[in-house]
Structure 1
Amino acid sequence: MRHTLPIAPQFYVTAPQPCPYLEDRMERKLFTALQGEAAQRLNDGLSKQGFRRSQNVLYRPSCADCAACLSARISVENFSPSKSQKRTWKRNEGLERRATSPWATDEQYELFREYLESRHASGGMADMDAFEFAAMVEETPIRTRVVEYTDRDTGELVAVCLTDVLDDGVSMVYSFFTPNRPRDSIGTYIILDHIQIARDAGLPHVYLGYWVPGSAKMGYKAAFSGLELYVNGDWEKMRDPADYEARRHPLSNDPIAEQVADISLPDGRPLRPSR
């Protein structure tokens, strides 16, 4: 199914498939290609409108039954670590960060496989081979870094995050880490460190992907202060999580054509034709 407009880019919708976050739900995604000289500006512009990148595609949930998936980001200025997060930071002070160009390695892939087998053995990435992993890391037309975390004493690769650099923040595209240190809360540490990366670079936001009310998989994101959600075309400070339950209602989503028409191009022009 394709929705075209007289102005590029073109947007498409995936076929319905089982939702990975909420039981008895079907998901669809609205997506567009990310390519050419304008790729970086398109990624910057659509990320501010709730889109996420996967290789050379930008997508946003566009389900017929609900609008529960909300793009989430942390305001660096408004973030203050909790006592638990301070302990997590201290527990991982022996890790060393290294940011490199997007290039996949065998060591990364081995860690990726360990992570999937421990956390997501039946997920959509479970069958990803080394070539597909390399494509996920390397096929990007925009500013991307691979952020590695190694044990300073042993040299062991402990965690990896594929990170996009946007004009208003850093976007954590995908992260994975060793399952052998469950007490260290390494996933939380990676987010905390990306807040520091953004702060050091003078960037105001850390984009986390989607938060879904009612999904235990996404509950950890609500633990970060300064969290903002993209709701009805604007970013707002997160309220009580229960306030967002209504977005799971079947009538809470706009038709696809209206969603596309309300998207703004990187130069600020709306896709909706003038009347």
Structure 2
Amino acid sequence: MNTQATPSPQFYLTAPAACPYLPGEMERKVFTHLVGQRATEMNDLLTQGGFRRSQNIAYRPACEGCRACVSVRILANEFVPNRTMRKLIAVNGDLVGTMLPAQPSTEQFALFRRYLDDRHPRGGMSDMSALDYAIMVEDTHVNTRLIEYRKRVPGAGLGDQPKGELVGVALTDLMSDGLSMVYSFFNPKLDRRSLGTFMILDHIARTHQMGLPHVYLGYWVRGSAKMHYKTRYQPQEHLTPRGWERYSEADDSEG
């Protein structure tokens, strides 16, 4: 009989650094490594506890004087798209989303670079190379997939492998209670399609079809305009000191 205890994860704390979301604030993170046979199970537990994954690292904010970062998850089984969202789904009716193994391609990287150069030219990922992108996709010990969004080729059957133009990609973790959107990027010139919103809506639909309850969106940052979009998808829950609680914009007492 093996009585050896299962090793517990070791947690570490980063040094203070400038916050990328709130001017004048400093951020710190607590993190651990997601490796070994229990990595998928640990990723589930940590994500449900407010952590996010980046490659084989799980992290969450541990800022000393700020609690603006709040974990968000959409209740997929209760979600009903509003009129604007339904119109957007119709606009993108010619797209096919295909879930694939987490394997990078030169086509994906070209789209990734196009997205970064247009949307985040001075961001922390702006100098990523093809090797960096491959590591971002492949360096994982958890149940990860890529979802490619392509234009449907005229005349192609529903069961055919899509071969049309690649317009968006989502790196997504499959979890016991839903999908966690790790990172997504898209053709920045296709403004009419609002591909960032469409990919979230598609993940909600996929999660509902899988019979699972949650889509994890990462952190909503109170006071950050560029994070406000995450509160559009109702109903949703926010992780509070009391656990996961339903949230609506009317509940926000900011200011």
Both proteins in one fold, TM over 0.5 = yes
- Equivalences for 1:20-169 in 2 at 5 Å? 20-153=20-153, 155-169=164-178
Instruction: Quote the Cα distance in structure 2 between the aligned partners of 1:86 and 1:95.
Output: 15
What secondary structure is seen at the aligned counterpart in 2 of 1:222? helix
Instruction: Quote the Cα distance in structure 2 between the aligned partners of 1:136 and 1:85.
Output: 30
Any idea what the Cα deviations from partners look like across 1:21-48, whole Å, max 9, x if unmatched? 1111111111001001111110011111
Task: Report what 1:209 is aligned to.
Answer: 218
Task: Report what 1:196 is aligned to.
Answer: 205
Instruction: Quote the Cα distance in structure 2 between the aligned partners of 1:48 and 1:244.
Output: 25
- Equivalences for 1:234-273 in 2 at 5 Å? 234-240=243-249, 243=252, 245=254
Task: Report what 1:173 is aligned to.
Answer: 182
Give the Å deviation of 1:90.
0.7
Give the Å deviation of 1:16.
1.2
Instruction: Quote the Cα distance in structure 1 between the aligned partners of 2:194 and 2:63.
Output: 32
Give the Å deviation of 1:178.
0.3
Instruction: Quote the Cα distance in structure 2 between the aligned partners of 1:191 and 1:231.
Output: 23
- The alpha-carbon distance between structure 1 residues 175 and 211, as it changes in their structure 2 partners (threshold 3 A), is same
What TM-score results when the alignment is normalised by the length of structure 1?
A: 0.84
CA RMSD in angstroms, aligned pairs only: 1.6
Which segments of structure 1 move beyond 2 Å, counting only runs of 4 or more? Answer: 239-246
1:185 and 2:226 equivalent?
A: no
Give the Å deviation of 1:78.
2.1
- The alpha-carbon distance between structure 1 residues 233 and 129, as it changes in their structure 2 partners (threshold 3 A), is farther
Instruction: Quote the Cα distance in structure 2 between the aligned partners of 1:241 and 1:10.
Output: 39
Task: Report what 2:160 is aligned to.
Answer: none
What TM-score results when the alignment is normalised by the length of structure 2?
A: 0.91
Any idea what the Cα deviations from partners look like across 1:178-223, whole Å, max 9, x if unmatched? 0111121110000000011111111110001110111111111111
Instruction: Quote the Cα distance in structure 1 between the aligned partners of 2:249 and 2:234.
Output: 12
1:75–1:205 CA contact under 8 A, matched in 2 = yes
Q: Which amino acid aligns with 2:110?
A: E
What secondary structure is seen at the aligned counterpart in 1 of 2:81? coil
What secondary structure is seen at the aligned counterpart in 1 of 2:66? coil
Share of identical aligned residues, percent? Answer: 50
Show structure 2 runs of 5+ residues with no match: 1-6, 154-162
- The alpha-carbon distance between structure 1 residues 241 and 43, as it changes in their structure 2 partners (threshold 3 A), is farther
- The alpha-carbon distance between structure 1 residues 82 and 132, as it changes in their structure 2 partners (threshold 3 A), is same
Q: Which amino acid aligns with 2:201?
A: L
Instruction: Quote the Cα distance in structure 2 between the aligned partners of 1:29 and 1:211.
Output: 16
Instruction: Quote the Cα distance in structure 2 between the aligned partners of 1:11 and 1:233.
Output: 22
What secondary structure is seen at the aligned counterpart in 2 of 1:77? helix
Any idea what the Cα deviations from partners look like across 1:114-159, whole Å, max 9, x if unmatched? 1011111111000111101000001110111000000113811000
Show structure 1 runs of 5+ residues with no match: 1-6, 247-275
Give the Å deviation of 1:245.
3.2
Task: Report what 2:238 is aligned to.
Answer: 229
Instruction: Quote the Cα distance in structure 2 between the aligned partners of 1:20 and 1:199.
Output: 33
- Structure 1 stretch 171-180 or stretch 224-233: which is displaced more? 224-233
Equivalent pairs counted in the alignment come to 241
1:27–1:62 CA contact under 8 A, matched in 2 = yes
